[in-house]
Amino acid sequence: MIVPELLTQVREPWIQRVSQALARGTGVRESFVAELGRFYDLMVQAVITGDSAWLEPILYDWARSPTETDLDQGQYHVAFVMNRILSLTIEVAREALSEQDALDYIATVIPVFSYGLEVVSRYEMETRLTHISTEMSDVQKKMEQLDRSKSGFIAVAAHELKTPLTLIEGYASMIRDLAASLQQKTIDNLLEGMNGGINRLRQIVDDMIDVSLIDNHLLSLNLQPVQVGQLLDLLRNELVPIILERQQTLDLRKFSGSDTWIFADPERLYQALRNILSNAIKFTPDKGSIFINGRTLPGFIEITIEDTGIGISPENQALIFEKFGQLGRVDLHSSGKTKFKGGGPGLGLAIARGIVEAHGGTIWVESEGYDEKKMPGSTFHVLIPARTDAIDPRLTKLFDSLDSNRTQPDAQETT
């Protein structure tokens, strides 16, 4: 029998055997059958013309098909598939053809498969190299960003620490030089100034400790019954002097879920909300407005903090939640927890995210962009699980395991 006839005779059993061996599921097999038919027809053309390059279009498509996961794991699956197809081809030829015809068929297709394996290996290596190059470029960008963040943090931290230290040093020097002639009221004022510097230092150090706890997954929560509305009321009362100083308007609205009792860590949750609200005050100009609202969602309470501030550009809306995430020029940094565009070590929102995520919630920001003239504003969304029991979900499996063990009969009983 001549080779073209052999190729035609083997086509259908070949497609059936290969598709059953390599594809799982009816839907997957149907699409794979079409690809196998295309491959076989191109292989026939390669044999008839004596030009194995007929296979290159489909081999190129297959070699470029790996997913990011495949590439990350270093899997070169197309070469494996080609080898498997060759093995199945030999089996089908032996079953469907006479011994001599099978030998003729195999001798005809093996050179084509050899060429195909060479092409696939080259294409897959090129794909892998491109993927590695892209990964290296991404890593380099992240390293550059990390280096900028580190340099920026060093500059900001030095400034943040220098300001309270200068205050403490100045007040201490005045007390020392004028101690004999100072009245008690003056001494009290100087000591109050020193205490302000000490408190600012303590806040910076506490923030650094909190970030370290979050990074190392060591942040512990003291879950207690709490109402979100009550925390927001306390927070508004604390920030009233700053709001008045900045001539801003703070509108705290009653919303569904604000008076629901849930289990959360009130101190940590208050800290997170304070950091977010302080950020809104800081980046909203004088006489601007801030709105606190919320709603109940299935299993969650959502809190929104909206401002009429300068906004956040889309490319920075994820960066602001990273530690040391400084926006703008570091060399223009100025200390100030709440003054307009006042700087800080860049830890507040990172801590807020860590606290919210430790509760099992999430946080994100929406903004049309950054514009100091149009003031598009920003809206921060905080989702807190509406947990009605005090058991940490991470302990559920442990308790289930303990309960299961209690139901098992003891090997030995003691009296």
What does the pLDDT look like over 318-340, one tens digit per residue?
Answer: 889 987 665 554 444 455 556 77
DSSP string, 30-70: HHHHHHHHHHHHHHHHHHHHT-GGGGHHHHHHHHT---HHH
Q: Which of 141, 160, 195 is the last residue of a domain?
A: 141
Assess contact for 87 and 148: CB atoms under 8 A: no
Residue 405 lies in a domain: no
What does the pLDDT look like over 20-59, one tens digit per residue?
Answer: 887 665 555 677 788 888 889 999 999 888 888 898 888 8
Q: Which of 194, 215, 236 is the last residue of a domain?
A: 215
Residue 50 lies in a domain: yes
Place of tokens 């190392």: 216
Query: Is the pLDDT higher at 1 or at 271?
Result: 271
**Judgement on whether residues 185 and 120 belong to the same structural domain of the protein:** no
What's the 3-state SS for 80-132? Answer: HHHHHHHHHHHHHHHHHCCHHHHHHHHHHHHHHHHHHHHHHHHHHHHHHHHHH
Q: How far apart are CA 168 and CA 16, in angstroms?
A: 84
**Judgement on whether residues 135 and 156 belong to the same structural domain of the protein:** no
SS3 239: helix
Angular region, 257: left φ>0, alpha ψ -120 to 50, beta rest: left
**Judgement on whether residues 238 and 378 belong to the same structural domain of the protein:** yes
SS3 6: helix
**Judgement on whether residues 132 and 103 belong to the same structural domain of the protein:** yes
What pLDDT shows up at residue 141? 80
Query: Is the pLDDT higher at 337 or at 73?
Result: 337
**Judgement on whether residues 109 and 37 belong to the same structural domain of the protein:** yes
What pLDDT shows up at residue 262? 94
> Which tokens sit at 349?
């929102």
What does the pLDDT look like over 171-226, one tens digit per residue?
Answer: 777 776 776 666 777 777 777 777 777 777 778 778 878 888 888 788 889 999 99
What pLDDT shows up at residue 386? 92
> Which tokens sit at 309?
């501030």
Residue 177 lies in a domain: yes
Residue 282 lies in a domain: yes
Residue 287 lies in a domain: yes
Domain count along the chain? 3
What pLDDT shows up at residue 398? 43
Q: How far apart are CA 133 and CA 145, in angstroms?
A: 18
Beta bridge partners of 302: 295, 383
Half-sphere exposure of 346 (CA within 13 A, CB side): 24
Domain holding 8, by residue range, is 3-141
Residue 415 lies in a domain: no
**Judgement on whether residues 319 and 188 belong to the same structural domain of the protein:** no
**Judgement on whether residues 107 and 177 belong to the same structural domain of the protein:** no
Q: How far apart are CA 388 and CA 9, in angstroms?
A: 70
Q: Which of 184, 215, 246 is the last residue of a domain?
A: 215
Given pLDDT bands bounded at 50, 70 and 90, which one contains residue 60? confident
Judge if pTM exceeds 0.75: no
Assess contact for 59 and 35: CB atoms under 8 A: no
What pLDDT shows up at residue 2? 80
Half-sphere exposure of 109 (CA within 13 A, CB side): 30
Assess contact for 342 and 335: CB atoms under 8 A: yes
CATH of the domain at 193: 1.10.287.130
Closest CA to 307 of 272, 331, 283, 273: 283
Burial of 347 (0-12, 13-18, 19+ CB in 10 A): buried
Q: How many CB atoms within 10 Å of residue 227? A: 17
Residue 274 lies in a domain: yes
Given pLDDT bands bounded at 50, 70 and 90, which one contains residue 150? low
Q: How far apart are CA 405 and CA 408, in angstroms?
A: 5
Place of tokens 């920026």: 152
**Judgement on whether residues 290 and 187 belong to the same structural domain of the protein:** no
pLDDT at 267 over 90: yes
CATH of the domain at 43: 1.10.490
Query: Is the pLDDT higher at 281 or at 395?
Result: 281
